[in-house]
């Protein structure tokens, strides 16, 4: 049964079969619906390719374990189902591929969940690739939590309201996105993706310090740039470092590699490292 109007074309594998549309999968007593015991991952299909699909499918299982959920689908089975679902769309469609786990029932206390009640689905839907025309960024007043306070080592749904409020606050001030710092005031990431800068011929990106996910696309781009001889350094960076950058770009599964064209009031050009990173990533994806 296809439910929900206004959504892009969607197919979801749930309870042993494919369903069309935005299928309801949670009730008012589902633990994840009100206490957010949910993890997910996101892969992409575009131009006939699915780069690093296997890594995204493995990571959702790792995220599940970190929220004390029981992953019951092997990475290979996730990949098989994803490829099956992709065939339901036009061959030229750009798709988002989202495997999910969540807790259905409460545990011994209301706040805890029962790991044995873990459920799962795979949702695939049309999501056009972002046109790399560039976007603006500012400094968010909000911070990334630490691993002592939130499950920042997992791709967990409970982390995203913090990202959203960073975006809303930036939009209210006329910016597209925001740099979010850790609790010490060092740059962690953008509200939606990992971030890179270049200065004096060196590519720099925040070193993973336990407050943000070192994304799969981020790691892929670092490796691709280094394979060409580019110097890529992971280190502690401040917002002031980014304000002085020669160029800034972002990496993430949803948009892959996109340029930043303004930080605060300062305009930026499409830089050579951004152009090379995007070119290399597209070559890798189609190889």
Looking at residue 1, its pLDDT comes to: 40
Q: Which residue has the tokens 């971030």?
A: 195
Residue 121 pLDDT more than 90? Answer: yes
Separation of CA 215 from chain center: 7
pLDDT tens profile 62-98: 999 999 999 999 999 999 999 999 999 999 999 999 9
pLDDT tens profile 8-20: 999 999 999 999 9
Is it true that domain 135-285 has CATH number 1.10.1060.10?
A: no
Residue 51 pLDDT more than 50? Answer: yes
CATH 3.20.10.10 positions along the chain are 135-285
Looking at residue 138, its pLDDT comes to: 98
CA neighbor of 122 nearest in space, from 65, 81, 181, 68: 81
Query: Which CATH architecture describes the domain 10-126?
Result: 2-Layer Sandwich (3.30)
Which residue stretches of the chain are H helix? 31-35, 53-66, 75-86, 160-172, 216-227, 239-243, 272-285
pLDDT tens profile 228-262: 999 999 999 999 999 999 999 999 999 999 999 99
CATH 3.30.470.10 positions along the chain are 10-126
Residues of the chain above pLDDT 70, percent: 98
Q: Using DSSP, how many helices (H) and how many strands (E) does the chain show? A: 7, 15
Looking at residue 5, its pLDDT comes to: 59
Distance CA 96, CA 46 (A): 9
pLDDT tens profile 144-179: 999 999 999 999 999 999 999 999 999 999 999 999
Q: Which residue has the tokens 């070192």?
A: 214
């Amino acid at each position: 049964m296809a439910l929900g109007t206004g959504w892009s074309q969607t197919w979801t594998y749930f309870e042993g079969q494919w369903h069309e549309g935005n299928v309801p999968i949670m009730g008012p007593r589902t633990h994840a619906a009100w206490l957010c015991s949910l993890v997910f991952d996101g892969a992409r299909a575009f131009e006939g390719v699915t780069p690093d699909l296997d890594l995204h499918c493995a990571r959702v299982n790792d995220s599940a374990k970190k929220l004390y959920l029981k992953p019951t689908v092997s990475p290979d089975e996730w990949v098989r189902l994803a490829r099956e679902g992709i065939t339901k769309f036009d061959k030229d469609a750009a798709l988002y591929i989202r495997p999910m786990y969540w807790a259905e029932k409460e545990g011994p206390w209301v706040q805890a969940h029962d790991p044995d009640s873990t459920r799962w689905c795979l949702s695939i839907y049309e999501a056009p690739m972002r046109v790399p025309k560039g976007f603006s960024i500012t400094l968010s007043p909000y911070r990334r939590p630490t691993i002592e306070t939130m499950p920042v080592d997992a791709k967990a749904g409970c982390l995203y309201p913090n990202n959203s409020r960073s975006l809303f606050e930036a939009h209210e001030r006329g910016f597209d996105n925001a740099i979010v710092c850790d609790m010490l005031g060092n740059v962690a990431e953008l509200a939606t993706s990992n971030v890179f800068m270049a200065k004096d011929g060196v590519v720099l990106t925040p070193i993973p310090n336990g407050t943000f996910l070192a994304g799969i696309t981020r790691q892929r781009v670092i490796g691709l740039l280094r394979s060409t001889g580019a110097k890529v350094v992971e280190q502690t960076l401040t917002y002031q470092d980014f304000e002085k950058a020669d160029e800034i770009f972002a990496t993430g599964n949803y948009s892959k590699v996109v340029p930043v064209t303004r930080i605060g009031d300062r305009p930026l050009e499409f830089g050579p490292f951004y152009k090379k990173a995007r070119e290399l990533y597209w070559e890798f994806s189609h190889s």
